[in-house]
Amino acid sequence: MTTATLDPSTAALSINGERLWDSLMTLARIGATDKGGVCRLALTDLDRQGRELFVRWTREAGCTIRVDAIGNIFARRAGTDPERPAVATGSHIDTQPTGGKFDGNYGVLAGLEVLRTLNDAGVRTAAPLEVCVWTNEEGSRFVPVMMGSGVYAGDFSLDLALAATDREGISVAQALQQTGFAGDAPAAIADGAPRFGAYFEAHIEQGPVLEDAGVPLGVVTGALGQRWYDVVVTGQEAHAGPTPMRLRHDALQAATGLMQEVVATALAEQPDGRGTVGYVQVYPNSRNVIPGKVVFTVDFRHADDAGLSRMDARLRAACAAVQAEGRVQVEVQQTVYYPPAHFAPELVAAVRHGAERAGLAHMDIVSGAGHDAVYVARTAPTSMIFVPCKDGISHNEIEDAKPEHLAAGCNVLLHAMLEQAGSAVEA
């Protein structure tokens, strides 16, 4: 991809931080919770209201709107060269049941603020610009997660996504019809959805690294790969009193050893290894019965595939060694695999240039969470911009971020997009 030269006349452009903050707080009122967070699950009536607000705002900013068959929304600001692929940005506006005001929402409204700033300054870009709202990123109501971007990238089919149901049996297809966002544009690149010339996603970090380092901006070079597992350890229930320790087939004793091995495996793969046991079920879960069965999950993450493979091999070897002792059976089933994402060097450089132009301290960082950008990166040059969030907390009603950090990240987004799209100030 050819990188456009930034017009000197746009070098001093700056977004309106107060307007960005006001937009975030206005959107946050839709689904606001008593504890100061937001509950706006995908394709509910509250999500409809948020989507309609976004559509109204972007139309007021002069955009045309495209809605595809999975409900992704694309607000397009025309460029002087309509044949060029769009330079895009965006994220999602659906939330967790106890979500915050910034996760996803910041990326969407930062994109809107970029368009408003260009309008205010009378700046036209050569390439069209698009702001995207991806459907069901959180996966709280429907699975798979990152549904809209996953369909777009072709990781799973539109039919599979439309057939997914929530706990009440309502399908994605039904929810799209009910909210009025069952679009007719192609949803997948394979079906004719347009590719982007470049894609940026601004986001709160959702972790504590930037805040711990005292750095206001993260240049995201990629995202950790993920392997998830279900592990089942089967022993034999027995009375806790009469059964000597040496004669027990204690599934929980064996399982806890494996859980510690998960942590040890991640510690051996620093700085980018992550290992988490997040769910444990013990059977029969009775005070005076030796557990006969334990089910637990393992979440491994790493910045490169070789590291993930080492973690996988160590887990499987540990499970085999426990089973070889002859007291329990151990089954391991991998349930999720996302390869590590490596973002486009030229777009990572554009984010760095934006930070340097703004005089911002910045550091390279790898995303530990999944984002729509991970799927988009399989189809177009992609990068992300991180800003700190208070105490690294996200997916929580107390999620918070400083207005000045949000504005700084949006300014970097503005100039990174202009660098890719090309610009001129209209007379």
- The pLDDT value given to residue 41: 98
Q: What is the pLDDT of residue 168?
A: 96
| 122-136: pLDDT as tens digits | 999 999 999 999 999
Question: Which tokens sit at 93?
Answer: 């506006």
**pLDDT < 50 positions in the chain:** 1-6, 427
Which pLDDT score is estimated for 8?
59
Rounded CA Rg of the chain: 24
Q: How many helices (H) and strands (E) does the chain have?
A: 12, 18
Alpha-carbon distance of 38 to 398, in angstroms, equals 10
Beta carbons within 8 Å of 38's beta carbon, 6+ residues apart: 28, 30, 31, 32, 95, 99, 100, 101, 105, 397
The tokens for 86 are: 């769009």
pLDDT score at 1: 40
pLDDT one-digit tens code per residue, 195-208: 999 999 999 999 99
Q: Rounded to whole angstroms, how far apart are CA atoms 213 and 136?
A: 32
Q: Which candidate, 124, 205, 155, 184, places its Cα nearest to that of 376? A: 155
List b or e across 390-421, with b for residues whose CB sees 16 or more CB atoms inside 10 angstroms: bebbbbbbebbbeeebbbbbbbbbbbbbbbbb
In 3-state terms, what secondary structure has residue 19?
helix
Domains belonging to the chain, first-starting first, are 8-223+340-425 (3.40.630.10), 225-338 (3.30.70.360)
Instruction: Say how far apart CA 386 and CA 52 lie, in whole Å.
Output: 27
Q: What is the distance between the alpha carbons of residues 370 and 324, in angstroms, rounded to a whole number?
A: 36
Per the confidence metrics, is the pTM higher than 0.85?
yes
